[in-house]
């Protein structure tokens, strides 16, 4: 019985250590802050709607390690991002750089607002120039009659 | 006339959305297409004291198949990788990615080893240099070491005939 319990205990302890995720040890708070901001802007390519900061996919962990390694080598954020874009394309960035293949992505929404705005402006102008009222003009004879009789309420 | 502009806008939007149907957002174009393969120096699986570099593989058109014994889709494509290695006349190299020696050797013993050589990348650094984001992936590299094609996901009977073999042929015909 005791042996069996011991075995069970061993199983629990060792299997737990198998699944433990090693925490990253940072040199100081600045490094941690920079690392967190950088990895929050990088897309995990395995689980595409997550950033690599939040993902525990094998590749995301590798990319986090590489990012930290490069931070410690003294690379700038831009250099680290370039490193990843070279390998994985613009898709790895949550905020893609502005260039010939991405200008539509950046300017498209403003274009839509502009076109919509022009449309609204044209419609308003057209309506303002239209003197014909939507409410039909009251009959003048009826008005006179009403004035004479004094029942204008 | 009044409805013409909304109608055109509707058709344009419909066409845009329709063109997206059936596309797999998980398949990304390789950023390294038509660019030199990254440099690597990796141990061979059969004898890890021996190492192989990109330069050792220059002068031939070959396929580099990223696999791991932990990857179920690699098992799915294994028959077609074997067929490719045996019948196409092109060399197929394996990039054994994030695997253990024991597991990868057992996997090869169990399912057969079609690879001319297996390059071992346990930490996954070379795979990152290649822009690998999931196994299996298959790269086609020409005699000058330029990446000409990349298949994300398993090789199947269909894409072997329609994409891989033509891509190998085109890569071999590169001046």
Kindly report, residue by residue over A86-138, the tens digit of the pLDDT.
Answer: 999 888 998 888 888 788 889 999 999 999 999 999 999 888 876 666 666 66
Closest to A88 (Cβ–Cβ): which among B25, B26, B31? B31
Q: What is the DSSP letter of A96?
A: -
Closest partner residue to B31 among A48, A62, A87, by Cβ?
Answer: A87
User: CA dist A74 to A24, A77, A88, Å?
Assistant: 18, 10, 22
Beta partners for residue B138, in sequence order: B65, B151
Positive or negative, the Cα torsion across B32, B34, B38, B41? positive
Q: Residue A63 and residue B128: Cβ atoms within 8 Å?
A: yes
Distances in Å between the alpha carbon of B140 and those of A84, B38, B150? 21, 13, 6
Distances (CA, A) of A32 to A95, A113, B17, B40, B80: 21, 39, 41, 31, 46
Cα(B108)–Cα(B104) distance, integer angstroms:
6
> Contact B97/B135 with Cβ under 8 angstroms?
yes
3-state helix vs strand vs coil in chain A, percent to 5: 65, 5, 35
* Residue among B31, B124, B128 whose CB faces A89 most closely: B31
B131 shares contact with chain A (CB less than 8 Å):
yes
Nearest to B81 by CA among B170, B165, B171, B175: B165
CB B174 within 8 A of CB B142: yes
* Exposure b/e, B26-41, CB count within 10 A at least 16 = b: eebebbbeeeebbebe
Q: What is the pLDDT along chain B (175 residues), one digit of tens a residue?
A: 678 888 999 999 999 999 888 887 777 777 899 999 999 999 999 999 999 999 999 999 999 999 999 999 999 999 999 999 999 999 999 999 999 999 999 999 999 999 999 999 999 999 999 999 988 999 999 999 999 999 999 999 999 999 999 999 999 998 8
Contact: B134, A91; criterion CB under 8 Å: no
Contact B98 A58 (CB under 8 A): yes
Cis peptide before B136 (omega within 30 of 0): yes
């Amino acid at each position: 019985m005791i042996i069996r319990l011991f075995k069970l205990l061993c199983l629990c302890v060792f299997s737990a250590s198998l699944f433990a995720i090693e925490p990253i040890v940072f040199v100081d708070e600045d490094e941690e802050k920079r690392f967190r901001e950088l990895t929050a802007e990088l897309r995990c390519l395995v689980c595409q709607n997550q950033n690599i900061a939040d993902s525990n996919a094998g590749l995301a962990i590798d990319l986090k390690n590489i990012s930290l390694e490069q931070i410690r080598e003294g690379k700038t954020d831009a250099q680290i991002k370039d490193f990843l874009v070279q390998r994985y394309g613009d898709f790895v960035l949550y905020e893609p750089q502005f260039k010939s293949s991405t200008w539509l992505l950046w300017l498209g929404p403003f274009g839509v607002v502009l076109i919509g705005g022009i449309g609204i402006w044209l419609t308003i102008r057209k309506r303002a120039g239209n003197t014909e009222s939507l409410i039909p003009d009251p009959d003048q004879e009826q008005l006179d009659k009403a004035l004479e009789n004094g029942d204008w309420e | 006339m009044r409805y013409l502009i909304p109608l055109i806008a509707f058709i344009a939007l419909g066409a845009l959305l329709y063109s997206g149907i059936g596309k797999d957002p998980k398949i990304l174009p390789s950023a390294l297409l038509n660019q030199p393969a990254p440099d690597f120096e990796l141990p061979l699986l059969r004898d890890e004291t021996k190492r192989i570099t990109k330069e050792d593989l220059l002068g031939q058109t070959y396929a580099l198949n990223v696999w791991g014994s932990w990857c179920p889709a690699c098992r799915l494509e294994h028959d077609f990788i074997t067929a490719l290695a045996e019948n196409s006349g092109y060399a197929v190299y394996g990039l054994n990615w994030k695997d253990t020696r024991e597991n990868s050797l057992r996997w090869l013993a169990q399912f057969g080893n079609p690879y001319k050589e297996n390059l071992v990348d346990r930490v996954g650094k070379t795979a990152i240099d290649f822009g690998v984001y999931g196994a299996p992936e298959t790269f086609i590299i020409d005699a000058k070491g330029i990446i000409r094609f990349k298949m994300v996901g398993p090789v199947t009977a269909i894409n072997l005939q329609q994409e891989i073999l033509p891509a190998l042929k085109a890569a071999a015909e590169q001046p």
